[in-house]
Amino acid sequence: MRKFLNISLPVLLMFLSGCLGNSSDKTKVIIFHAGSLSVPIKEIANRYEEMNPDVKVQLEGAGSVNCARKITELKRQCDIMISADYKIINEMLIPEYASWNAIFASNSMVVAYNDRSYRAEEIDENNWYEILLDERSIYARADPNADPCGYRTLLTFKLAGIFYDKPGIADDLAVKDVNMIRPKGVDLVALLETNAVDYIMEYKSVVAQHKLKYLELPPEINLSDQRFENLYESVSVSIRGSKPDETIEISGGTVAYGITLLNKAPQKEEAIKFLNFYLSDIGLGIIVKSGQTIIKPAEIFGPDHIPGVLYDLLMEGKKE
């Protein structure tokens, strides 16, 4: 006959807690981040937690506009925000919710597809917009009111109208396949992988991370080349602001990611330590491996408010 140990429930729970560790005892750093950073920032957070076992990095990925609204409208607690567009931090968070902002990375817009995509064998930089407009093809894009990838898609369409001398491209593409608009750019990957759509407008880094085929767009329209900054700035789109009755006019520009520490960060000291790791060669190396370009020295807004150790990291490479 088998014998069972007579262990009370409280004792058992204490034993399990000791074996597994109590995550509630850890210092929690909360980060709202652009969905396009989900892959690299998860790796960075895991590396940081391995080095700091008493810290839990809580990641919440979403469209950058929605990340900001969690802070401004929902009054959610947050330590760090990383936006796919630095302008969101400047327009929606500074000065009430944040005091500084650093541009640290770039990206570019591409058209992604797979072998089963309609007319995949013939798409190139001269006909891609015609294929997307073909009634037999379906394409998906992100919501411009939620994610910079969404409004950058519309900016790319407007620039395409100029580049190809086809003024109607932007309007025609904006009203097509609206049922395939999703809250954030990374949501589009699943649509393509399951063949729900033929094409997606996406960041090059996200496409590279998921090993998708993609078409490089001309630098005059892909928002990646600072030589065409004046051209990019000649187009703009309107999105919903931090309040339902407000709008923000977003002008084109080179894709530029921004990072900031919130004024009321619950774990400010630990958040600064994480930022120190994120902006180190290790953290930025992971960003580069994930398909993005690092901007060094960084461009900083509100430099007088940034912690000194972070300022030194961001300014590495600056000529005196």
Q: Are residues 121 and 233 in the same domain?
A: yes
* Total-model pTM: 0.88
At residue 203, the pLDDT reads 97
Q: Are residues 265 and 302 in the same domain?
A: yes
Span 278-284, average pLDDT? 95
Q: Are residues 225 and 138 in the same domain?
A: yes
- For 154-167, give one letter per residue: b (16+ CB within 10 A) or e: bbbbbbbbbbbeee
The CATH number of residue 137's host domain is 3.40.190.10
**What is the C-alpha separation between 203 and 138, in angstroms, rounded?**
18
Q: What is the mean pLDDT of the chain?
A: 92
Q: Are residues 101 and 115 in the same domain?
A: no
**What is the C-alpha separation between 244 and 264, in angstroms, rounded?**
24
Least reliable range by pLDDT among 7-11, 89-93, 97-101, 170-174 = 7-11
Neighbours of 98 (CB within 10 A): 26
Check whether 24 has a pLDDT greater than 80.
Answer: no
Last residue of a domain, one of 211, 240, 269: 240
Who contacts 255 (Cβ-Cβ below 8 Å, separation ≥6)?
Answer: 84, 85, 106, 107, 108, 109, 152, 203, 223, 224
Q: Please tell me the total count of domains within the chain.
A: 2
At residue 47, the pLDDT reads 98
Q: Which domain holds residue 102?
A: 20-106+255-314
Last residue of a domain, one of 196, 212, 240: 240
Write out the two tokens for 267. 């774990």
At residue 126, the pLDDT reads 96
Looking from the CA of 153 toward its CB, the CA atoms found within 13 Å total 31
Per-residue confidence band for 245, with pLDDT thresholds at 50, 70 and 90? confident
Confirm whether 10 is domain-assigned. no
**What is the C-alpha separation between 202 and 36, in angstroms, rounded?**
9
At residue 15, the pLDDT reads 47
Nearest to 177 by CA among 127, 126, 118, 224: 118
Peptide bond before residue 95 is cis, with ω within 30 degrees of 0:
yes
**What is the C-alpha separation between 153 and 143, in angstroms, rounded?**
9
To which residue do tokens 């072998």 refer? 115
Least reliable range by pLDDT among 104-118, 196-210, 238-252, 255-269 = 238-252
Q: 1 or 16, which is more confident? A: 16
Nearest to 27 by CA among 59, 45, 52: 52
Span 251-263, average pLDDT? 97
Percentage of the chain lying above the pLDDT 90 cut: 85
Check whether 17 has a pLDDT greater than 50.
Answer: no
Q: Are residues 121 and 55 in the same domain?
A: no
Check whether 317 has a pLDDT greater than 70.
Answer: no
Confirm whether 158 is domain-assigned. yes
Query: Rounded to the nearest 5°, which phi and psi values hold at 184?
Result: -145, 155
